[in-house]
Amino acid sequence: MFPRKLTRQVISDPDYPVVETKAGKLRGLVVEGSFIFRGIKYAKAERFHLPKPVEPWEGIKEAIIYGPVCPELNTPIAHDEYNVPHYHYCQDEDCQYINVWTQHLDKNAKRPVMVWIHGGGWATGSSIELYAYDGEEISAWGDVVFVSLNHRLNVIGYTDFGKYGDEYKYSGNAGLADLVMALEWVRDNIEAFGGDPNNVTIMGQSGGGAKVRSLFNTPAADGLYHKAIIQSGAHKGDGDGTLEESQYLAERILAQLNIAPENVHEVEKVPYYKLVRAAVAAQEDVKAKFGHTFFMGATKDDDYYLGQPVLYGWRPEVRNVPLIIGTCLGEQNNNFALEPISKALDDWTEEEKMEQLKKRFGDKTDAVVAAFKKAYPGRNIAGALFIGDYYRIGAYEIIARRIKDGCAPTYNYLLTLMAPLNKGTVPWHNMEEAYVFHNANYLEASYIPGVTEELQDIMTGAWVAYARTGDPNHPGMPVWHPEDGEKVGTMIFDRDVHMVYDHDKELMDVLGGGRAQPSFRRRDAGILGGGPRQSL
Amino acid sequence: MFPRKLTRQVISDPDYPVVETKAGKLRGLVVEGSFIFRGIKYAKAERFHLPKPVEPWEGIKEAIIYGPVCPELNTPIAHDEYNVPHYHYCQDEDCQYINVWTQHLDKNAKRPVMVWIHGGGWATGSSIELYAYDGEEISAWGDVVFVSLNHRLNVIGYTDFGKYGDEYKYSGNAGLADLVMALEWVRDNIEAFGGDPNNVTIMGQSGGGAKVRSLFNTPAADGLYHKAIIQSGAHKGDGDGTLEESQYLAERILAQLNIAPENVHEVEKVPYYKLVRAAVAAQEDVKAKFGHTFFMGATKDDDYYLGQPVLYGWRPEVRNVPLIIGTCLGEQNNNFALEPISKALDDWTEEEKMEQLKKRFGDKTDAVVAAFKKAYPGRNIAGALFIGDYYRIGAYEIIARRIKDGCAPTYNYLLTLMAPLNKGTVPWHNMEEAYVFHNANYLEASYIPGVTEELQDIMTGAWVAYARTGDPNHPGMPVWHPEDGEKVGTMIFDRDVHMVYDHDKELMDVLGGGRAQPSFRRRDAGILGGGPRQSL
């Protein structure tokens, strides 16, 4: 994706490299020895309809540039643009495109396949939104087939018009259906790219992790993946829309657009930005009716999608899928940072630290500080300001439920490495991505000479080993123990990589419940309350 | 701009590196030894108003991410996305942002300043739209201060509402006024970034070259620059809108928006995309009235902007500014390519070549082929398909006019290096940019190991030498002769860098007039006819 200083001539000849897929031939690139195929159309879909396979073609199609990405409700400069550099690309509803990086174009190579599902909640982002997502390094370094893809998002991905006609059945999960279709494309075609269709790891971060979690309870995806990784993507509590909410959203969108129910087809032709304005207004209507902010995401319809497994359980069909799940120490770094940070964290006075901590934690401040000191002795307590309990508690909840359901092993990690930005910044939401894709030495905000190279060898090595065998352990790192049905250990990724057990249990308890109290709360039971869900 | 494999820790501390500008302090970055300041606000402007200086501020502002870019009428995937990779960024009318790359933060360093004005016609693009534009390599390699900037474009840059009130005076040249304001910012502040405000080179490619050309006849810019470079930016014939056209566009925009003239202020508040729809419709109205497609660009109002110097002459105030002007052999490569190219050019049969050539050149084909063979003996005649006469003839016209007006020396070049894509691709519109910015070894489509490194040392070396002294010659290349008032030589940039004289005169004559017939045609004289101008 991103230009790098080249040492070899890139090859993209009319007849090489060419791969034959089920639908037809594709011509890609050879970049520094890696084969790259960008922007392969894996499905086509009318707005609010289920995706269909692409039509077969004659001759050779080019796969040398990325396909368009799903339109976003809006695309402002991200608050974390510096530490998480974005690559924005052209947006179009015709967005079912997949990218492949591989070292072999040999059907017998059968390398492990890693399928990256991008984040940005269920509303924004793309397979190439972050520089960290580039698959060239991990494919070459780990000899794996790396796959990433675009799929439908926000209003066009998750609004249920099902009550207006069978053709719109599952329109409340069109985005999930795109993911399933992409996994079917992998099953049917990845062998030609040197991949093993029987060894597919699905992985995602933030919203992408939430999508991985939801795929566990999407029966259409059963059997299409064999391992899973959720990076900072399992927030605590619920997060799905209900069928009732999604259908009410559809109803209100039609009303906002002055489209009578019998003319529902017109909603397929409305210009996207007009649809967005209607959807944003309709969102307010849903909020007024249901008492909480409604985010467009997977619709729990108990048919296509059965709801979050942490609430409704891991089904027998997917219990044998192992899981890596983990977070970064400072997930909320950007959400709570004092910007611009005019003073390095280490230069803050005790008073300044306490003033800021009290702003976030109020009455809990003393308890948080005490628990933080116990969990992270020697660390600057200002780090507690940015602590990522929202995702870490979510991870604990998932692990507890998987233990209860008798699932395959679950591995937990926590990235605690301080980044050099501002003379020391707590690792943020997204920071681990560059490390697991072996791209961390490309990123300004997190690169620490020597340390980064070593840590990304360890982390990418673990992800690749896991994709290969289901076990992330490799000779270059201490033994990573999964939960053993009782004890949950955490692999700490930092200058000193090591296992800890329950080191932050007290801190998580103070912040809202740790693994001892997995909260199988259901919003419809009224326990979680009606507050807004975090916009991922 | 683009992530590169880092070898040193990037520094962006709360108090370093910090530069004090006239308006306040800015904190940037140190990347691999270069100082970088991104997204510095150089002006603010209400829609359709002239830009104003920014308000002074207290404390230190961050300049570590790019500022938003001017909204485009639309942003589709470019037809040349593979060979000219784009970096799309967040769009906002608040777009007056400038970026600086430098090796010194010392007022006494006084290094030459190169100000890059981006292309994309007058309607699209940004300071960071192309990867080739990244200034880190040229700044470090050449020890120059490299500056690039965003400015207003399209409907918000070039629609004249002047007849509705003095506050809108010059709104037909708001984009040019932004450029002038940016050059004033350079004059007032660049010393603090190690630059010499008395040695400023303005340079641009395509639309950016056209803007450089127009700045020559923008009196407000006089004295703010001392050298100029136009890369593939001086197309033949005219290209400006007239005041009458621009004012009629404004009139029709108000009509399309149902805004009465007395409520003209409302046009400042219309959402941008609504304004765009009105403007696109209004463009059709202008076409209907004036008989030719109207593109939003510099408005020849004979006040702020005096029209193209190739038509109206170089004024005494700017005759002492030297110029480099040049083109690529295959400017129209993408416009006329048979896509997808399923067969390498060298594998085409003679019949296939002639068939395609006849499609482009019709009755002229035999003459074109004969002249092409004379100009480029040994080259595949299929190359003539992509020949860049549109810009090359424009360059000849400018040189002739500068000779006539007694201007400082003008240097001419032509990039003829075949790129490896498709087993051989004629160099395209934009290809020279990566070579003059020392970024060509980052770009997949054009990188040739060894050849690229050598040629970019020569080309970047020439651009830097020119910025330093006004003479592009340096020890690493053959002597580059400027026109001498009579003879026009061309420096050929290829595997063999060498001077030629009139080598393609006959070819240009066949294609529409070479330098022997500089066409001082005026559209208003009816000679050029009413055909659409090329959308840059």
Rounded to a whole number of angstroms, the CA Rg of chain B reads 23
Nearest residue on chain A to B448, alpha-carbon basis? A9
Interface membership of B321 toward A (CB under 8 Å) = no
Chain B residues with CB under 8 Å of A443 CB are 3, 6
Nearest residue on chain A to B31, alpha-carbon basis? A444
Give pTM, 2 decimals: 0.94
Kindly determine whether residue A77 and residue B61, on different chains, have CB atoms separated by under 8 Å: no
Long-range contacts of B507-511 (CB under 8 A, 24+ apart): B507/B368, B507/B371, B507/B372, B507/B374, B507/B375, B507/B387, B507/B389, B508/B389, B508/B392, B508/B393, B508/B396, B509/B371, B510/B364, B510/B367, B510/B368, B510/B371, B511/B364, B511/B368, B511/B387, B511/B389, B511/B393
Kindly determine whether residue B4 and residue A4, on different chains, have CB atoms separated by under 8 Å: yes
Q: What percentage of chain A exceeds 70 in pLDDT?
A: 93
What are the angstrom distances between the C-alpha of B354 and each of A228, B112, B389?
Answer: 56, 49, 19
pLDDT of B388: 81
What are the angstrom distances between the C-alpha of A24 and each of A63, A94, A139, B95?
Answer: 12, 19, 24, 44
Chain A residues with CB under 8 Å of B34 CB are none
Pick from B8, B31, B441: CB nearest A449 = B8
Three-class SS state of B180 = helix
In the predicted model, is pLDDT for residue B285 greater than 80? yes
From chain A residues 50-89, the ones with a CB under 8 A of any chain B CB are 59-62, 64-65, 68, 75-77, 81-82, 85, 87-89
Token pair, residue B343, equals 């067969």
In the predicted model, is pLDDT for residue B527 greater than 80? no
Phi, psi of B368 (to 5 degrees): -65, -45
Interface membership of A2 toward B (CB under 8 Å) = yes
Kindly determine whether residue B340 and residue A131, on different chains, have CB atoms separated by under 8 Å: no
pLDDT band per the 50, 70, 90 thresholds, residue A535: very low
Nearest residue on chain A to B89, alpha-carbon basis? A88
CB-CB neighbours of B156 under 10 Å: 23
Sorted by sequence, the CB contacts under 8 Å of residue B221 that are 6+ apart come out as B179, B180, B183, B215
What are the angstrom distances between the C-alpha of B482 and each of A411, B323, B375, B409, B473?
Answer: 69, 9, 20, 6, 10
Chain A residues with CB under 8 Å of B7 CB are 449
Q: Summarize pLDDT for B137-162 with one digit per residue, the tens.
A: 999 999 999 999 999 999 999 999 99
Whether A297 and A245 have beta carbons less than 8 Å apart is answered as no
Which of A332-346, B104-118, B166-180, B241-255 has the weakest average pLDDT?
A332-346
Rounded to a whole number of angstroms, the CA Rg of chain A reads 23
pLDDT band per the 50, 70, 90 thresholds, residue A388: confident
Nearest residue on chain A to B3, alpha-carbon basis? A442
Q: Summarize pLDDT for A419-468 with one digit per residue, the tens.
A: 999 899 999 999 999 999 999 999 999 999 999 999 999 999 999 999 99
pLDDT band per the 50, 70, 90 thresholds, residue B359: confident
- Position with higher pLDDT, B344 vs B529: B344
Q: Summarize pLDDT for B248-281 with one digit per residue, the tens.
A: 999 999 999 999 999 999 999 998 888 998 999 9
Pick from B13, B343, B443: CB nearest A3 = B443
In the predicted model, is pLDDT for residue B92 greater than 70? yes
Interface membership of B443 toward A (CB under 8 Å) = yes
From chain B residues 146-175, the ones with a CB under 8 A of any chain A CB are none
Kindly list the structural domains of chain B, giving each domain's residue range(s) and its CATH number in brackets, ordered by start: 1-332+389-405+508-536 (3.40.50.1820), 335-388+406-507 (no CATH)
pLDDT of A334: 54
How much is the average pLDDT of A484-503? Answer: 94
Token pair, residue A304, equals 């296509």
In the predicted model, is pLDDT for residue B332 greater than 90? no
Kindly determine whether residue A448 and residue B68, on different chains, have CB atoms separated by under 8 Å: no
Interface membership of B370 toward A (CB under 8 Å) = no
Pick from B3, B61, B421: CB nearest A442 = B3
Question: Which amino acid, one-letter code, is at A236?
Answer: K
Q: Summarize pLDDT for B34-79 with one digit per residue, the tens.
A: 999 999 999 999 999 999 999 999 999 999 999 999 999 888 888 7
Interface test with B, best of A29, A447, A452 (most B CBs within 10 A): A447
In the predicted model, is pLDDT for residue B526 greater than 50? no
How much is the average pLDDT of B167-173? Answer: 97
Burial class of residue A74 (count of CB atoms within 10 Å of its CB; 0-12, 13-18, 19+): exposed
Interface membership of B271 toward A (CB under 8 Å) = no
CB-CB neighbours of B32 under 10 Å: 16
Pick from B9, B75, B423: CB nearest A13 = B423
Give B384 to chain A, closest Cα distance, Å.
20
Interface membership of B290 toward A (CB under 8 Å) = no
Residue with the two structure tokens 């509590």: A237
Give A315 to chain B, closest Cα distance, Å.
42
Kindly determine whether residue B449 and residue A8, on different chains, have CB atoms separated by under 8 Å: yes
Q: Summarize pLDDT for B483-502 with one digit per residue, the tens.
A: 988 888 999 999 999 999 99
CA distance A30 to A99: 14
Nearest residue on chain A to B434, alpha-carbon basis? A3
- Position with higher pLDDT, A286 vs A344: A286
